[in-house]
Amino acid sequence: MKQRTISGEIRFTGVGLHTGTTNQMTLCPAPEGSGICFQRTDIPGEPVMKALADHVASTERSTVLIREQIRVGTPEHLLAAFFGMGVDNVLVKLSGPEVPILDGSAYPFAIAIKDTGVREQKAERVCYNLHHPVYYTDKSSGTMVEVVPAGSFSARVILDFDSGVIGKQEFVFDQGMDFLAEIARSRTFVFLDDVLSLIKKGLIRGGDLDNALVIADKDQSEEDTAILRAIFKRPGLKLQRGYLNDPALHFPNECARHKMMDLLGDLFLAGRRFNASVTAYKPGHAANTAVALMISDQIKKNSYDT
């Protein structure tokens, strides 16, 4: 199979989930072999950083890439769209420090790529065959990720929340799946109980009910209820248990599908597509990107075996 890039420029404008600032983003066709690169057009000299696990600097509630003066926050949904839509080479021009969150899913990116078109390039796409299994375990969170050699790429995500709303969910992805139909629309999610603490940390400044699933599984005090209504700009919002969004869900297991999206986007930071079977139990950005780095290191050590 040949490498692919997009057929033309694609433009987006939107707020960053965590910074709350409005940024312009332009996706541009890129030469074969260039991979996914981010260019900060607001920084003198317009420096460029390749989207690689080596540049992961933070993983609290999103992935953040930093190299020297370049910072790019929340790239995972965009990267998942590139992975799922079969795109290898793109230059992403960004006017600020964070990729726009848009509706909290990868759908706006994926459908724009479909509408614009994907162009085949001359060079072959090199898909790495994993030589050795990769394992990640975090005892504090219970997270476990296992990546074993296989003839093609597949992934299984298992969520197990102590929540009467989400509970246990699973989702399985393989290369024959329609990313646009099955994964792209799944939105990021947050528990209502975590919203105030995240805001105090300076996070989710751009979050609202239009770009995230908000899950209420505990009763809130009258004081917190008033604050949350003000944050969401919904004075009449009822904080009953369940999903506060309307409509509530695109899929019964939307949370598991979104975690799959995050996993695919973060693993794309390995720098190359690879063949393996991935099982991720209670995954998060820290686990995903650590695994991507281990796979990247393995690719570098075995760069002549594909």
For residue 177, tell me if it sits in a domain: no
pLDDT above 70 for 67: yes
Q: What residue numbers bound the domain in which 208 lies?
A: 189-243
Cβ-Cβ contacts under 8 Å for 296 (sequence gap 6 or more): 52, 53, 54, 269, 270, 271
Split at pLDDT 50, 70, 90, the class of 214 is confident
Residue type, 97: P
pTM to 2 decimals?
A: 0.94
Proportion of the chain above pLDDT 90, given as a percent: 74
- Output the CA–CA distances (angstroms, integers) from residue 88 to 1, 6, 65, 216, 289, in the order listed: 11, 9, 19, 39, 19
Largest CA distance in the chain: 62
pLDDT above 50 for 171: yes
What pLDDT score does 259 carry? 98
**How many domains, the chain?**
2
For residue 43, tell me if it sits in a domain: yes
User: Does one domain contain both 45 and 119?
Assistant: yes
Report the first-to-last Cα separation within the chain, whole angstroms: 13
- 65-69, 72-76, 156-160, 210-214: segment of lowest average pLDDT: 210-214
- Torsion (CA) 120, 123, 125, 131 in degrees, nearest 10: 180
User: Does one domain contain both 7 and 121?
Assistant: yes
Q: Give dist(CA 185, CA 39) in Å, integer.
A: 26
- Output the CA–CA distances (angstroms, integers) from residue 221 to 96, 236, 241, in the order listed: 37, 16, 13
Planar angle of CA 128, 130, 134, nearest 5 degrees: 135
For residue 69, tell me if it sits in a domain: yes
What pLDDT score does 267 carry? 99
Mean pLDDT, residues 193-222: 82
pLDDT above 70 for 99: yes
User: Does one domain contain both 200 and 121?
Assistant: no
For residue 108, tell me if it sits in a domain: yes
Whether 285 sits among the annotated catalytic residues: the reply is yes
The residue among 88, 108, 125 that closes a domain is: 125
Residues 133-150: tens digit of each pLDDT: 999 999 999 999 999 999
pLDDT above 80 for 303: no
For residue 156, tell me if it sits in a domain: no
What pLDDT score does 247 carry? 67
Report which of residues 221 and 295 the model is more confident about.
295
What pLDDT score does 306 carry? 44
Q: What is the overall mean pLDDT for the chain?
A: 93
User: Does one domain contain both 205 and 115?
Assistant: no
User: Does one domain contain both 119 and 217?
Assistant: no
User: Does one domain contain both 7 and 102?
Assistant: yes
The residue among 104, 125, 146 that closes a domain is: 125
Q: Give dist(CA 245, CA 298) in Å, integer.
A: 42
User: Does one domain contain both 10 and 94?
Assistant: yes
What pLDDT score does 202 carry? 80
For residue 82, tell me if it sits in a domain: yes
The residue among 125, 151, 178 that closes a domain is: 125
What CATH number does the domain containing 62 carry? 3.30.230.20
* Sign of the dihedral defined by the CA atoms of residues 276, 277, 281, 283, in that order: positive
For residue 266, tell me if it sits in a domain: no
Q: Most confidently modeled of 6-10, 175-179, 244-248?
A: 6-10
For residue 207, tell me if it sits in a domain: yes
